[in-house]
Amino acid sequence: MSLNLHDLRIWRGDRPLISLSRSVAKGEVLTLMGPSGCGKSTLLAGLIGALPPVFRMQGQIALNGRDITELPTHARRISILFQDDILFPHLSVGANLGFGLPRATRERARVVDAALEDAGLAGYADRDPATLSGGQRTRVALMRALLSEPEALLLDEPFAKLDSELRAAMRRFVFERARARALPVIMVTHDMEDATAAGGPIIALSSPREDLDD
């Protein structure tokens, strides 16, 4: 089982932007590299079903044998981690993690505490997200994404705002947990060190086209 992109094509108006056929195996990280404007983030938006109206897409997206091409975002079982962690400022750290749980459970507190311990943040459940460091926020954002029980993970420049030492630690943290859950992963980045650390295949996308979004 894997994430399969079958003859996936994206246009902006009449201008071709992306053309990709690829399978990403469980536990594999496929890295997409290219300059700003080549359509990396646009592709991720298409995969989660959030492609802006200015774009159109053809082809098929299959996840673990299930055709998800026309499904709404919430039904696709794909999580995405952005450059900005997007934690909810009005919720505590624990409540942010609880938000990722797919359903109410009597063991919610236990599940949240276990996720915090895995992230090296035991005892942080009642903390305000604003008090966390950049690396801590990234770990909370990832654990929240994983608690939603995704079947695939997308990474949109998630390490870009971290300093070099923290960046290396966060790469290890993210890739180890994705592989432990056997998730197919697609990462977009400008940084060859990110791609090398991912240890998977790398696809270089074409040069940017005028007026196209990244």
pLDDT tens across 86-99, in order? Answer: 899 999 999 999 98
- C-alpha to C-alpha distance for 116 and 76, rounded to whole angstroms: 26
CATH fold of 1-77+151-214:
Rossmann fold (3.40.50)
Tell how strand 66-67 and strand 29-33 pair up: unpaired
Is the pLDDT at 214 greater than 50? The verdict is no
Which is higher by pLDDT, 102 or 159?
159
pTM here?
A: 0.89
Q: What percent helix, strand, coil does the chain show, rounded to 5?
A: 35, 25, 40
pLDDT given at position 67:
97
Average pLDDT over residues 135-163: 91
Average pLDDT over the chain, rounded to whole? 89
- C-alpha to C-alpha distance for 137 and 207, rounded to whole angstroms: 33
Pick from 57, 71, 47: nearest CA to 10:
57
pLDDT given at position 1:
62
For the chain, domain boundaries: 1-77+151-214, 91-149
Which residue's structure tokens are 């695939």?
152
- DSSP for 171-196, please give it: HHHHHHHHHHTT--EEEEES-HHHHH
Average pLDDT over residues 8-15: 91
pLDDT tens across 13-68, in order? Answer: 888 888 999 999 999 999 999 877 778 889 999 999 999 999 999 999 999 999 99
Average pLDDT over residues 134-148: 90
Average pLDDT over residues 180-208: 90
Pick from 153, 154, 157, 138: nearest CA to 36:
157
Is the pLDDT at 103 greater than 80? The verdict is no
Question: Where do runs of H (alpha helix) occur along the chain?
Answer: 40-47, 93-99, 108-118, 134-147, 164-180, 192-198
Tell how strand 55-63 and strand 2-12 pair up: antiparallel
b/e for 136-166, b at 16 or more Cβ within 10 A?
Answer: bbbbbbbbbbbbeebbbbbbbbbbeebeeee
Is the pLDDT at 109 greater than 90? The verdict is no
Which residue's structure tokens are 């992230």?
119
Which residue's structure tokens are 């459940």?
125
Residue at 106: amino acid letter: R
pLDDT given at position 212:
40
Is the pLDDT at 159 greater than 50? The verdict is yes
Residues forming beta bridges with residue 15, ordered by sequence position: 12
Average pLDDT over residues 188-198: 92
Least confident of 12-21, 67-76, 157-166: 157-166
Is the pLDDT at 211 greater than 60? The verdict is no
